[in-house]
Chain A
Amino acid sequence: MTTISEQSPAAAVDAPPRRRGPDLRRVRWWRVVVLGVLAVYFLVPLASTFWFTVYTPGTKKFSLAPYGQMFGAAGFTTSVRMTVEVALLTIVILYALLIPAMIAVQLRLPKLKPVLESLAMVPLVLSPVALVVGVQTVLGWGLNQDPGTPLFQFAADLQNQSFPIILPIVYVVIALPFAYRSLEAGLRSVDLKTLVEASRGLGASWPVTIWRAVLPNLRSGLLSGAILTLALVFGEYTISSILQFLPFSVWIVQDGQGATSGQLAPAVSLLSLLLTWAVLFLVSFLGGRRAVGRPDRSS
């Protein structure tokens, strides 16, 4: 009896390091391979795109000109202004709907969480082409009314060329999964219940509680959701081109290409991709340490 009880703790202390030693090395080895192959797959296309935009094989000249030219191209400001407006409206509608709903579900209606979660997943698998077919049909129903009736007017207003309200309406749906995920990550890192109870207990009203206590704690999640939405609106092509609007993404393909031997459009997409990532990366540190590392539930 005594020998066993004396030996087993020693064995228990001894065993894990022996087993973990080779284990860890093997893990590191395949980690390097997997991450290395992925790094090549993901970085090489970006690097070649950069090369393509700065190097002209015909003249064998390097030039960063495409990165400057985009600002001077005809139609650039109009399309960018329209896209920025559409993006801002999308973000406002999205958050006005999503923030109260997610807080309410977290605090009072946990049973609804699966419903919300599934709803936020649907746009990921629903083809934008199919969605736009439906949107066009619905708009067509409106336009089939007699001109002058409110329904006709409404359908026509939605498709106003200079500021098509239909775009933000549809984009809110498309951006839902990404905004939901960002907010969800933000909410998970905050003890919402304590926060709200403390604020309410001190006499603050609901709007004040949300504005002064909840939102500041969610700022990292809110910002990254907003940036992802902005990036999505700037890159969205399918819906706006089929509905025949001319936001930035469509303009860059249709009008922006001719003058600069096709280097402008890749330059813009590369720049916006890197900018989005850089801003998101910086924002992810805004929330402080708590928001960055997921709280370690094991400790």
Chain B
Amino acid sequence: MIRLFKKLGAWGAVLPLLGYCAIALGLPVWAILWEGLHQTNPTTQQTSVTLANLTSSWHGIYLTGLLTSLRLSLLSSVISAVVGLFAAYAIAQSKGRYFKQAVLTASGVLANFGGIPLAFCFIATIGTGGVFLSWIEDVWPSFSLETFSGVALVYPYFLVPLMVLTTLPALDGLREQWKEASANLGGTAWQYWRHVGGPLLLPAALGGFVLCFGSAFAAYATAKALTSGTVPLVTTQIANILSGNVIAGEDNLGMALAFNTIIICGLMMAVYLPLRQRSAKWLES
């Protein structure tokens, strides 16, 4: 009886959060899915179920936008994941308490640092008239911040810290004794990473990569401020449609585009969550 009460009390503490998410997160997502699958006939004002929005969101410039978004996210997240993993290992190895704490808090702030301020920073550095533009042009003459490669150079600024934040707990969880045990059994450093460290880290590293990918895919303000729309991305296209640049009869096209990003977000979570569970199981044992 008492146990039942305790369980009920605990549920009472959790339910407000779940309910809130259902309304503030679930309702908008549901609205997109619903509107994306419906269309209002302008003459009769009749609303009907249709796949027209979705099919047009997979053609022409919108397909280009989707593919560019995917390419940009893949490129920047691969770079960020590799660099971030090495950075996280270097940080995990360091003994300095202040250094570690400074880097950790900086990662927390920088993973959050995106959008217009970030664009400002890079425009002041290597944008037109930027302080270091001539340096970059020496090694890469055709470089411009307003292109695909320019954006791909900026994205790691918030993706690498995100990768560090997600993989550092796993790297901290690697115990020194395992390395010693492996060495005592005659294992080389390569064998240690191949058979002990690598498999332990893999779920966390892949999870961090997926998170970086999703985060890059979702970014909007940074790309918009950098390129003012010259690089077609799903997110900038959605915002364009929202701000009224639509062809008549395509009112729900923005919904369909948002629908696509939600599907991709769902795929990301479907990959990430099982990885996260595996990683947690090993590290908390």
List residues of A whose CB falls within 8 A of some B CB. Answer: 12, 15-16, 19-20, 23, 27, 30-31, 34-35, 38, 41-42, 44-46, 48-49, 51-52, 93, 96-98, 100-101, 103-105, 107-109, 112, 114, 116-119, 121-138, 141, 169-170, 172-173, 176, 178, 181-182, 206, 224, 228, 231-232, 235-238, 242, 249, 253, 265-266, 269-270, 272-273, 276-277, 280-281, 284-285, 292-294, 297-298
B199 proximal to A (CB < 8 A) = no
B115 touches A237 (CB 8 A): yes
C-alpha spacing A108/B265, complex, angstroms = 31
Interface residues on chain B, number (Cβ under 8 Å): 93
A-B residue pairs in contact (CB < 8 Å), sample of 20: A15-B183, A16-B184, A20-B183, A42-B110, A48-B130, A100-B13, A100-B16, A107-B10, A108-B7, A124-B214, A128-B220, A133-B242, A228-B108, A235-B115, A235-B117, A237-B115, A265-B117, A284-B101, A298-B176, A298-B177
Q: Given the complex, which residues of A lie within 8 Å of B169, measured CB to CB?
A: 294
B32 touches A298 (CB 8 A): no
C-alpha spacing A242/B115, complex, angstroms = 14
Count how many pairs of residues, one from A and one from B, have CB atoms less than 8 Å apart in the complex. 265
C-alpha spacing A133/B265, complex, angstroms = 15
CB distance from B126 to the nearest CB of A (A): 8
A35 touches B90 (CB 8 A): yes
B211 touches A103 (CB 8 A): no
A97 touches B272 (CB 8 A): no
A129 touches B238 (CB 8 A): yes
Among B18, B32, B234, the residue within 8 A (CB) of A137 is B32
C-alpha spacing A132/B58, complex, angstroms = 21
A269 touches B116 (CB 8 A): yes
A182: nearest residue on chain B (CB-CB)?
B108
A105 touches B14 (CB 8 A): yes
Which 7 A-B residue pairings sit nearest by Cβ, starting from the closest?
A134-B28, A125-B214, A269-B117, A127-B218, A108-B10, A104-B13, A100-B13
C-alpha spacing A41/B109, complex, angstroms = 16
B148 proximal to A (CB < 8 A) = no
C-alpha spacing A176/B219, complex, angstroms = 17
**With A101-B14, A136-B242, A141-B31 given, is the CB distance from A125 to B211 under 8 Å?**
yes
Q: Given the complex, which residues of A lie within 8 Å of B165, measured CB to CB?
A: 181
**With A38-B160, A42-B157, A232-B112 given, is the CB distance from A118 to B269 under 8 Å?**
yes
**With A27-B93, A100-B16, A130-B238 given, is the CB distance from A298 to B175 under 8 Å?**
yes
